[in-house]
Structure formats: C-alpha cells, structure tokens
Chain A
Amino acid sequence: MSLSPVDGVVLAELEHSGEPPVPPPGKRIVGRSPGQLALGRLRRDRTAMVTGVVLLVFFAVALAAPLIERLYGVSPRTQFQDQLDGFGLPLGYAGGVSGDHWFGLEPNLGRDIFIRMVYGLRTSLFVALAAALITTVLGVVAGILAGYLGGWVDAVIGWITDFALALPFFIFALAVVPTVTLRFYGPRDAEPPAFRVVVVIVVFAIFGWTATARLVRGQVVSLREREFVEAARASGVSLPHMLFRQLLPNVWAPILVSFSLAVPSYVTGEAALSFLGIGIVEPTPDFGAMIFRSIQYLQADPAYVFFPGITIFALVLAFNLFGDALRDALDPRSARS
C-alpha cells in the first residue's frame, strides 16, 4: 500500500546532498553576524554617516574642552568687563563677535560665549549619556526579568513602572531637587558643582527607565515562546545564561535605538531643568542655564541666545536622525519612506 507521494521519495536513500558549496581554497569561512550585517547597512546610509560625523565632532569638542581652552586662550570664568558698555552689553556687532571672542560675550558678566559653550557641551553630553546609560541598564534588567519570569515578578515590576509613569516629572523635579540640595548642604553652604550634576542624573534615572523596561519586556515576552528558548531550557542552562546570553542578544536592536533616542531627550530635558533653575547651577557652564540667562537680553542682545540655541538644536537633531538611521539599519523592514 502506497501511502502518499512522499513515500517513494522518503524510501529512496538519498544521502546528504544540498550542502553549502565548498568555498574557494585560501578563503577562511567566517560567518557574518546579524550585527555585522546591520553595521554594513549603516555604512551605506548617507544620513547616518553625516549625522554620525556631526556627533563625533560634538563628542571630540566636549572631550577636548581643556585643550581647546588652551589653544583659544580664554577661560570660561574670565570676565571681560572692559569690553562691555555702560549698560553691561557687549561692545561691537552681534554681541561682541571678534577675533578674540568668536561667539561674542555674555552681557553683564562679560564671559566668553564660545568657550562656555564648549564646556557646556561637556556638561550636557555627560549628563545625557550618563542618564541614558543608567536608565537603559535599569530598564533592560527590569524588563528582561519581568518578561521572562512573568508571574508575580512581572506584576511587581509592572506596578513600579506604572507608579513611576504616573508621577509628573517636572513637578517631582521642582519639589525634589531643591529639597535634596538643602538637606545635604543647608541654605548657606556652598554647593559643589558636581553635586547638582549627580542629582540631575539621579532624577532622570528614577523616571527614565520605565520606557526601556516596557520595551524590553514586550520583546522578551514575544521571544519567550520561541523554540530556541525552549531548546536552551531543555539543555539545562542557568537563569543568567538564559537572560543575558540567549535573550539579550536578540533585543539589542531596540535597546540601542531607544538609547540613541533617549540621549537627545535628556539633552533637552537637562536644558529644561537648568532653564527652570533646578538643573545645573552657576558657575558650571551649561546650555540650559545659558539660554535661561539669555532670555532677559532677548531684545538688547539677540546674538546671546542664537549661538547656544542653534548648537543645542543641531545636537538634538543629529542625535534623532542618527537614531532613526540606526533603527533602519537594525531592522530593514521599517525603512523610512
């Protein structure tokens, strides 16, 4: 009795054919990992390359700030009172732009805007990157645990996430930052500049991890039922191996994208906090604080707001475009139209 057309084929003792062709001799066989393929796609993306270069320049400037100070010959704290007029406004055109002071001088205090922006870039990028890194690590650990373990672990992490999302960020920051500062240093003590930076990063960390946690949890829930996870369980792997060797490599792509899009949001967030006076405080140079100070000179000295404003705009735009390009490279199916 012949059961099906398959039968004859099955019974024919076909030995292994259809193996990959033997590679030309002399060429080593090295597989290209999905990550390497994504990098290749990123290289071919013009937006990614341009914004990547812009970001590299920003990073280089921030890192080399002391070197630039030496070459430029002006310190961010020096006040050039002799170059201000009687109203405290800088002499000359466009806010005192000159060969010595490329972007002009601050009204009233007379500090050099260019070098303050170089150092402000440092503050901004440090705060944004540190906050993004901490929130991503917290979010990944919380999300991967909630997604894989499920049950009560998932429920508890879900409650904490909802709680953190329900707190209004700016009201919380307005209430907490001055209180914490007062608690540590009292009303009269001088507050070290680094302290505010740490407080701002902590405030971001408390609120920022929830988005990543939800993203990662969703990804892991969909991966959990895949057969390779079951195969790893059947092999008897440990929980850390399962979470960080089996699952994490498969959620890298969305994590990287959310990280690269989180950084610019922290740049603007930090500037907003500084603008409200609860972020970075003088004398630490900072974009948000500079823009805040420039507002009162908007009519008298419009050049003051122009340079920091345009720089922060370029920085955030470059980050966002790069993040989009990164997403396209990691997931070719969601290409920009």
Chain B
Amino acid sequence: MSPLLEVKGLTKHFPARGRGSVKAVDGIDFEVRAGETFGLVGESGCGKTTTGRMLVRLLEPSSGAVSFAGRDITHLRGRALRPLRKDLQIIFQDPYASLNPRHTIGKIVAIPLQANGINPAGGVRHRVQELLELVGLNPEHYNRYPHEFSGGQRQRVGIARALALGPKLVVADEPVSALDVSIQSQVLNLLRNLQRELGLAFVFIAHDLAVVRHFCQRVAVMYLGKIVEVGTRAEIYERPQHPYTRALLSAVPDLERLDAAGRIRLVGDVPTPLNPPSGCRFRTRCWKAQERCATEEPALVPRDGGTQQTACHFPETGPLR
C-alpha cells in the first residue's frame, strides 16, 4: 500500500539577517500511511512545528518534496491548494490563540465549509451542530464566543473546525500541551476515538513522550532539524537505539523511581541551528561521540534488520534499563 503522505528531503531554512540562515528543518524523510498515527517528538526548537506547518502548506518548504496520496503538493499555490485543504487539516497548540475572539464558535466551525463552497445536506448550521456534538460540545452553544469556554472546550472547537472538511490527514501540533493534565486525557481520548471512527491519519507533534506513547503507532524523534530515529511505538519506547532517544526517555519523570540512578543527563545546550555541528548533530552532547561522528553524517538506516531506523554510528542495543 502506498503511503498517504510521503516526505522526502524536506528542508526549511529561514534567512537570518546577515548571518546565513537558520536551518530549522534540514532534510527529513518519513511517510504516513492512511489511518495511521505518526508521532513527531523532540525538544523545543528541533523543528517539529515547522515540519507540521510545511505539511499543511502554511510554510513554503525551502527544498525537498511532500506528496499526498501520490500527488506532489510541495509547490501548489492559490487555487490548486484548495482541494488539498479539504484533505489536510491542522489542529493548533494554543486553544486561546487559535480561535478568532470576535467570531462565535458556530461561525468558526462554519468558515471552512463556507470558504470552500460546501453546502452540506441539511444546511451549514445543521452540519456545524453535528460537528460540535461529534467533539463532545453542546450543539446549543453554537452562538457563544470563545472567551466563554475553557481551554479544553476551545481545543474541541479547534478539532471540530479541523474535521469540518472531512480530512484524511490531520496534523496535530501539540494539541494538548497547553491543557491541564486531566483535560489532556479527555482531548486525547477524543482524538483517538475520532481517529478510529473516521479512519483519520494523524501527524501528532508533541514534546511529551507519555502523550505520544499513548496516541501514536509510529514515532519519529527529531533533534536540531533532523530525524535521528524512527520506529514503531514498541521499538522506540522499549528498545531505543539512538543515544538521544535513550537520554530523552530516561529523563521522563517516573513516580516509581524518584532517584536519579540510571538517568542519562545531557550536558550543555542544543547547538544553534544557524551553524549546526558537522557530522552527527548530536555529537556535541553525546557520551559516545568519536572522531568519526564529527566527519561523517550518519544516515537514517535500519541497524538490526528491523523496521526501526537510526541515524547513529554507534547505536545502542538491548532494552532500555
């Protein structure tokens, strides 16, 4: 089965005045199959949000290619982009900034329908109320304003808006990181139910490893604009091979083991994306780094014959801990 979304060598360089460019995303490849949940994790500033924005064409890629359902969408513009908008939608991180404060939530959910000239059976209003009900909101609240809702409810409105056009793939950009922990689980469960009921594919961007583990079937780990490891949930969480993935997982707080034993502490800061390190980008903070890491960039390839791919010259083996 050919993948729904295929990303090849995707790059985004932001020009920085007089100092070259910020290499936010620097050549990443991955694919998402129909109905699959694909997680993209990494620290702040590793380029995961930029990647999400490029997938839905809110940002223009510097180079590389994105193809959706077998069609190259990298440089579609204006009118040609319209049909794509129906298939490819985005949920935003900040439920306070992502809804126009001057519009009622009914209007917010209706705008994608109206902008694309869709006239659903039973009328726009009926469809909007259906959508509100689908995401667990009271359809009677149709003509209320965003400021009258809590963060979790607003995020549901954002989800209803993304679903309005009946997309095949939804990019969820940290959809729960701005919410309280108890609300996070509700929204995550909603997303999971929707994914199952509607057969949606998700690109789920997050920095919270627990959330990604809960939601995603496959996971890619990003560091400084590159994917360093990609594999199934079990592979990434139980037998991570890249030192960075190991460090990231060991840093997750665990109620059962509050002592620092066995925890990998990364030293130093993430290098600047204006001038990333040569060779392996993680080598400046890696405890296994050797000469070869500085000269030769490791390719993202399967290291042990499985589906898991790791970009490291000296991958770890065996289960975590």
Which A residues lie at the B interface, using CB under 8 A? 1-7, 9-20, 22, 29-35, 226-228, 230-238, 241, 246, 249-250, 252
Chain B neighbourhood of A16, CB < 8 A: 136, 186, 190
Q: Does B232 contact A (CB under 8 A)?
A: no
Known: A3-B209, A14-B182, A236-B81. A227 touches B253 (CB 8 A): no
A108 to B214, CA, bound (A): 92
Known: A230-B92, A235-B112. A249 touches B58 (CB 8 A): no
How far is the CB of B139 from the nearest CB of chain A, in Å?
10
Q: Does B188 contact A (CB under 8 A)?
A: yes
Q: A16-B190, A31-B144 are in contact. List 9 more A-B contacts (CB 8 A).
A: A2-B256, A3-B237, A3-B249, A4-B208, A30-B144, A31-B143, A231-B158, A235-B164, A241-B111
Chain B neighbourhood of A227, CB < 8 A: 92-94, 97-98
A18 to B140, CA, bound (A): 16
Which B residues lie at the A interface, using CB under 8 A? 53, 56, 58, 81-82, 85-86, 89-90, 92-94, 97-104, 111-112, 115-116, 136-138, 140-141, 143-145, 147-150, 152-153, 158, 161, 164-165, 181-186, 188-190, 208-211, 213-214, 237-238, 249, 252-256, 320-321
A17 to B137, CA, bound (A): 10
How far is the CB of A291 from the nearest CB of chain B, in Å?
43
Chain B neighbourhood of A20, CB < 8 A: 138, 141, 148-149, 153
Tell whether, in the assembled complex, residue B161 and residue A231 are in contact, meaning their CB atoms are under 8 Å apart. Answer: yes
A10 to B158, CA, bound (A): 20
B145 CB contact (under 8 Å) in A15, A33, A232? A33
Known: A31-B148, A34-B102. A235 touches B58 (CB 8 A): no
B189 CB contact (under 8 Å) in A6, A13, A30, A228? A13
What are 6 contact pairs spanning A and B, CB under 8 A? A4-B254, A14-B189, A30-B144, A31-B148, A230-B98, A241-B111
How far is the CB of B205 from the nearest CB of chain A, in Å?
14
Chain B neighbourhood of A230, CB < 8 A: 53, 58, 90, 92, 98
B97 CB contact (under 8 Å) in A13, A226, A237? A226
How far is the CB of A36 from the nearest CB of chain B, in Å?
9
Chain A neighbourhood of B320, CB < 8 A: 1
Chain A neighbourhood of B103, CB < 8 A: 249
Tell whether, in the assembled complex, residue B143 and residue A30 are in contact, meaning their CB atoms are under 8 Å apart. Answer: yes
Chain B neighbourhood of A234, CB < 8 A: 56, 58, 85, 89-90
How far is the CB of B260 from the nearest CB of chain A, in Å?
16
How far is the CB of A14 from the nearest CB of chain B, in Å?
5
Nearest B residue (CB) for A247: B100
Nearest B residue (CB) for A23: B140
Chain A neighbourhood of B158, CB < 8 A: 231
Tell whether, in the assembled complex, residue B102 and residue A33 are in contact, meaning their CB atoms are under 8 Å apart. Answer: yes
A3 CB contact (under 8 Å) in B86, B148, B186, B210? B210
How far is the CB of A10 from the nearest CB of chain B, in Å?
5
A3 to B251, CA, bound (A): 9
The 5 closest A-B pairs by CB, nearest first: A31-B144, A249-B102, A227-B98, A236-B85, A235-B112
Nearest B residue (CB) for A230: B58
Chain B neighbourhood of A231, CB < 8 A: 90, 92, 98-99, 158, 161
Chain A neighbourhood of B184, CB < 8 A: 6, 9-10
Nearest B residue (CB) for A250: B102
Nearest A residue (CB) for B83: A236
Chain A neighbourhood of B181, CB < 8 A: 5-6, 9
Tell whether, in the assembled complex, residue A14 and residue B185 are in contact, meaning their CB atoms are under 8 Å apart. Answer: yes
Nearest A residue (CB) for B249: A3
Tell whether, in the assembled complex, residue B58 and residue A236 are in contact, meaning their CB atoms are under 8 Å apart. Answer: no
A207 to B122, CA, bound (A): 51
Chain B neighbourhood of A15, CB < 8 A: 186, 189
Tell whether, in the assembled complex, residue B255 and residue A2 are in contact, meaning their CB atoms are under 8 Å apart. Answer: yes
Tell whether, in the assembled complex, residue A34 and residue B254 are in contact, meaning their CB atoms are under 8 Å apart. Answer: no
How far is the CB of B120 from the nearest CB of chain A, in Å?
15
Nearest B residue (CB) for A6: B210
How far is the CB of B4 from the nearest CB of chain A, in Å?
18
Chain B neighbourhood of A7, CB < 8 A: 210, 213-214
How far is the CB of B239 from the nearest CB of chain A, in Å?
12
How far is the CB of B44 from the nearest CB of chain A, in Å?
17
Nearest B residue (CB) for A16: B136
Tell whether, in the assembled complex, residue B183 and residue A228 are in contact, meaning their CB atoms are under 8 Å apart. Answer: no
Chain B neighbourhood of A249, CB < 8 A: 100, 102-103
A18 CB contact (under 8 Å) in B98, B186, B208? B186
Most buried by A among B103, B256, B321: B103
A291 to B47, CA, bound (A): 67
A252 to B144, CA, bound (A): 20
Most buried by A among B56, B85, B186: B186
A1 to B141, CA, bound (A): 42
Nearest B residue (CB) for A17: B186
Most buried by A among B82, B208, B238, B321: B208
Tell whether, in the assembled complex, residue B161 and residue A235 are in contact, meaning their CB atoms are under 8 Å apart. Answer: yes
Tell whether, in the assembled complex, residue A29 and residue B144 are in contact, meaning their CB atoms are under 8 Å apart. Answer: yes
Chain A neighbourhood of B92, CB < 8 A: 227, 230-231
Chain A neighbourhood of B183, CB < 8 A: 18
How far is the CB of A325 from the nearest CB of chain B, in Å?
22
Tell whether, in the assembled complex, residue A6 and residue B211 are in contact, meaning their CB atoms are under 8 Å apart. Answer: yes
How far is the CB of B182 from the nearest CB of chain A, in Å?
6
